[in-house]
Chains A and B, each alone.
Chain A
């Protein structure tokens, strides 16, 4: 009999304690970010998709060694270069990132010995078309320079 009533009593108390906690939380400020209206800046080391780095002349640092292409586990990088007449180094002519297959592991950036690619801070990437995710990084670099 005592156990019966003490269980009811303790049960009720536990319920009131729980309600007390949610009551306190009710008056605390909200912690969320209402996303499309306010956005967060990504931290310094954020790993977005890759972008080419340019040198002082506005040309990409890339020397078309192809290490990033080989390091990529998913084969999303395809690049091409050519050697202009009289030049020593190759010049990048095409750098395509197939972002549909990229898993943002960062192997390409780590493999690069020439400081030619970096992570972008972009994360608002949504589209209904697959083609939008096949990035031409050279074209993006030119767009940035404009």
Chain B
């Protein structure tokens, strides 16, 4: 007979969560030191799908690197491409027509809604409710269909070009987007009834995993993680870029610091994104989508450029060091989830495993984006 697991009362054991675990949504591995159901210590292990995106940035020419950015975060690809085109435009001094700027903003916000919808579904699935995921996917599908008709693909759009866009939007897209806004508002009401109001859901999130302001600052957290802890920081408001100053929208901030606050922030962000899309469609100017004069070969003058954008997952920074050749000297991607994830190690100490995994869901991790 073999000996079963023997455990003394104050002895701990190591639980290896991942890299193939249903709760980590990807190949993230967490080494948890457990005392029964309680986590004594946790260590996140990353790098399972490291694809050297930063190094690729140094070897590929600027236009060749465009498509890499949408492969970082496959749920909110538009936001990342936006950061990249903005920093290269800044470096090379390319003017962007106004229509292109507006379409970019609309696309990024649509993508943000799609990304948050997927997060919402996956998060509720982490908590054990499966149906909301399917409802969320239906709405997300609507967005993807709309974007596919314009960009030609569903996840890795590669839609932005230096100076403008790959394709212009047509009337079909505009009317579909207009129809989408009331539909999405109705769905949000449904989600609030089905999930937000549910007592089981409330009990699982309220007061769980408090993240203090100091902790968020220490780790450089952004997005709903920081805004759920009372930090009013949104790159779109604090360091405005593109046409965001033209839009009237609020940044939802909650001071409860718990998982429910992070959930509420994201749900409200969807509503705000809908407002931006609505305004963008109203203000959409006519005109070209590519600048008249665009350098044939993009060779930014030597220098150091930085641009931060607010993606669905938080503040994404991209730093470009150019030495005047056709490839960058260095391209640093500051990925928001990378910072958000590292909160997990410290915050989950003393939590029960089910709360810890719910907390992980509330961080909205996308692993390819962490590993880059």
Contact = CB atoms under 8 A, between A and B. Distances in A.
A34 interface: no
B194 A45 contact: no
Nearest to A12: B199
Residue among B60, B66, B148, B194 with most chain A CB within 10 A: B194
A26 to B, nearest CB: 10
B325 interface: no
A43 interface: yes
Contact of B64 (A7, A15, A107): A107
Nearest to B138: A31
B199 A45 contact: no
A114 to B, nearest CB: 17
Given A22-B131, A71-B63, A103-B71, A46 B194 contact: no
A106 B193 contact: no
B135 interface: yes
Interface residues of B, number: 30
Nearest to A110: B166
A17 B193 CA distance: 7
Interface in B179-219: 190, 193-195, 197-200
A13 to B, nearest CB: 9
B156 A103 contact: yes
A14 B198 contact: yes
A104 B193 contact: no
B67 A103 contact: yes
A18 to B, nearest CB: 5
A103 B66 CA distance: 11
Contacts of B153: 46-47, 104
Contact of B152 (A11, A31, A46): A46
Nearest to A20: B193
A21 B194 contact: yes
B32 to A, nearest CB: 31
A57 B207 CA distance: 73
Residue among B149, B152, B156 with most chain A CB within 10 A: B152
B152 A73 contact: no
Nearest to A22: B131
Given A46-B152, A73-B65, A73-B67, A14 B158 contact: no
B151 interface: yes
Given A45-B167, A47-B152, A119-B152, A105 B194 contact: no
Nearest to B197: A14
Interface string A69-86: 001110000000000000
Contacts of A124: none
A18 B124 CA distance: 14
A39 interface: no
A72 B66 CA distance: 11
Contacts of A31: 138, 141
Contacts of B197: 14, 17-18
B341 interface: no
Contacts of B71: 103
Given A15-B199, A45-B167, A107-B63, A22 B150 contact: no
A56 interface: no
A47 B157 CA distance: 10
B148 A46 contact: yes
A113 B153 CA distance: 23
Contacts of B68: 73
Interface in B209-236: none
A43 B148 contact: yes
Contacts of B158: 105-106
Nearest to B149: A43
A110 B164 CA distance: 14
A105 B65 CA distance: 10
25 contacts: A14-B198, A15-B199, A15-B200, A18-B195, A21-B194, A22-B131, A22-B194, A25-B135, A43-B149, A43-B152, A45-B149, A45-B150, A45-B151, A46-B153, A47-B152, A47-B153, A71-B64, A73-B64, A73-B65, A103-B67, A104-B153, A105-B66, A106-B152, A107-B66, A107-B67
Given A11-B199, A18-B193, 19 more contacts: A7-B199, A15-B200, A17-B197, A21-B194, A25-B131, A25-B135, A31-B138, A31-B141, A43-B148, A46-B153, A47-B152, A47-B153, A73-B60, A73-B67, A73-B68, A105-B66, A107-B64, A107-B66, A119-B152
Interface of B: 60, 63-68, 71, 131, 135, 138, 141, 148-153, 156, 158, 166-167, 190, 193-195, 197-200
